[in-house]
A and B are shown apart, each in its own frame.
Chain A
Amino acid sequence: MKLQRLKVSEFRKFTSPVEIQGFAEGLNLLYGPNEAGKSTLAQALRTAFFEKHSTMGKFVQAISPTGQDDAAPVIEVDFLLGGKAAKLHKRFFKKRRANLSIGTQNWEGAEADEHLARLLGFKLAGSGTSGEDDRGIPGLLWIEQGRSPELAEPVGHARATLQERLKDIIGEVTSTNGRQVIEAVQQELGRLRTATGRDTGELRETANLLDTARAERDALKDKLTEYRDKVDALGVALEKHRQLHRHQPWVELDRKRTEAQGRLQAVQPKQNELTAKQRELEVLAQQIADLTKDHDQYQRDTKALTGQRAKLEDLAMKLADARQALQSAESDQSKAAAQRDAAKLVLNNAQRQAQRQQLVTDIERVKSDLARVKRVVETATALQGEIHRTRKDAATLQLNARELEKLRNVESDLRDVQIRLEAVATRVDFRLVDGAQVLAGTWGNVQRQTSYHATEPVTLQIPGVGEIDIVPGAGTVQELATERDRLSTERGALLTSLGMADLAAAEARYERWQKLDELITRKEGELQIHLDGQGLDELQGELNELTGRETGLNQQLTALPAENSSVTLEDADQAYQQALQDHQAAVETRHAANTGLIEVRTEHDALSNSVTTESQRLEGTEGKEQFEALKVKLAEVKDQQTRGNDSIATLQTELRELNPEGLQLDVTRYETSHRQAIVERDALDTTIRELNAFLKAQGAEGLEEQLDQAAARVDRLEKRLALYQQRANGLQLLADKLAAHQTAAKERLYAPLRAKLEPYLKIVFPGETLHVGIDDLAPIDLQRGEQRLGLGEFSHGTREQLGVLARFAYADLLKDAGQPTLLVLDDALVHTDAERLDKMKRAVHLAAQRHQVLLFTCHPDSWRDAGADQRIDVAALCSSA
Chain B
Amino acid sequence: MARLLHTADWQIGRTFKYGQDEDGHDPSSAMVQARFEVVAGIAGLATERSVDAVLVAGDIFDRQGVKDTTLRRLFNALDRFKGRWVLMPGNHDAALAASVWTRAQQLGIVPDNVTLALEPKAYEFSELGIAVLAAPLTQRQTHVDLSAAFDNLPSSPGLLRIGLAHGSVEGILQEGIDSPNPIAQDRAARANLAYLALGDWHGTKQINDRTWYSGTPEQDRYKDNDSGNVLLVEIDTPQSLPRVTVQRVGRFHWHDVAHELNGTADADRLIESLSTFDHNTVLYLKASGMTDLSTATRLEEALDAIRARVHVLEADLAGLRLEPSAADLEGMQVDGFLQEVVGELRELSEDPEQGAVANEALKQLFDALRRTAGAAA
Contact = CB atoms under 8 A, between A and B. Distances in A.
Interface of A: 172, 174-178, 180-181, 184-185, 188, 224, 227-228, 230-232, 234-235, 238, 691-692, 695-696, 699-705, 707-709, 711-713, 715-716, 726-727, 729-731, 733-734, 737-738, 741-742, 744-745
Contacts of B362: 730, 734
Chain B binding surface, main DSSP class: helix
B338 A175 contact: yes
B90 to A, nearest CB: 15
A712 B70 contact: no
B24 interface: no
B337 A744 contact: yes
Given A699-B65, A702-B68, 10 more contacts: A177-B369, A185-B365, A228-B64, A231-B99, A235-B98, A699-B64, A707-B65, A711-B17, A712-B18, A730-B360
Contact of B363 (A234, A715, A730): A730
A749 to B, nearest CB: 10
A231 B13 contact: no
A726 B365 contact: no
B314 to A, nearest CB: 10
A235 B360 contact: no
Contacts of B18: 712
Nearest to B18: A712
Interface stretch (B113-121, B160-168, B241-249, B339-347): B339-347
B326 interface: no
B16 A712 contact: yes
A227 B364 CA distance: 49
Nearest to A230: B98
Given A176-B335, A696-B103, A716 B368 contact: no
Interface string B102-144: 0100100000000000000000000000000000000000000
A745 B337 contact: yes
A726 B357 contact: yes
Contacts of A702: 13, 65-70
A699 B100 CA distance: 8
B360 A727 contact: yes
23 contacts: A174-B336, A177-B338, A177-B372, A177-B376, A181-B368, A188-B367, A188-B368, A228-B64, A232-B96, A699-B65, A700-B68, A702-B69, A702-B70, A704-B13, A704-B65, A705-B66, A708-B14, A712-B18, A712-B28, A730-B359, A733-B360, A734-B364, A738-B338
B17 A716 contact: yes
7 shortest A-B CB distances, which residue pairs? A175-B336, A730-B360, A702-B67, A704-B65, A712-B17, A235-B97, A741-B337
B220 to A, nearest CB: 12
A583 B365 CA distance: 158
Chain A binding surface, main DSSP class: helix
Contacts of B320: none
B42 to A, nearest CB: 22
A730 B358 CA distance: 6
A702 B87 CA distance: 21
B211 to A, nearest CB: 31
B364 A178 contact: no
Contacts of B356: 726
Place the interface of chain B in its size category.
Answer: 35 or more
Interface string B1-36: 000000000000111111100000000100000000
B371 interface: yes
Nearest to A741: B337
B373 A177 contact: yes
Contacts of A184: 368, 371-372
Nearest to B65: A704
Given A730-B360, A730-B361, A733-B357, A231 B64 contact: yes
A213 to B, nearest CB: 11
Contacts of B337: 174-175, 178, 738, 741-742, 744-745
Contacts of A175: 335-339
A309 B376 CA distance: 163
Nearest to A711: B17
Nearest to A171: B336
A180 B368 CA distance: 9
A227 B65 contact: yes
A701 B372 CA distance: 53
B361 A699 contact: no
B19 A716 contact: yes
Contacts of A176: 333, 335-336
Contacts of A745: 336-337
B82 interface: no
B286 interface: no
Nearest to B363: A730
A625 B176 CA distance: 125
B251 interface: no
B63 interface: yes
B345 A737 contact: yes
B64 A704 contact: yes
A234 B97 CA distance: 6
Of A184, A230, A703, A727, chain B has the most CB atoms within 10 Å of the CB of A184
Contacts of A715: 17
Contact of A177 (B62, B65, B333, B363): B333
Contact of B15 (A174, A185, A708): A708
Nearest to B332: A177
B361 A731 contact: yes
B20 to A, nearest CB: 10
A705 B15 contact: yes
B330 to A, nearest CB: 13
B375 interface: yes
Nearest to B354: A733
A731 B361 CA distance: 5
Contacts of A730: 357-364
B340 A741 contact: yes
A729 B354 CA distance: 10
Nearest to B345: A737
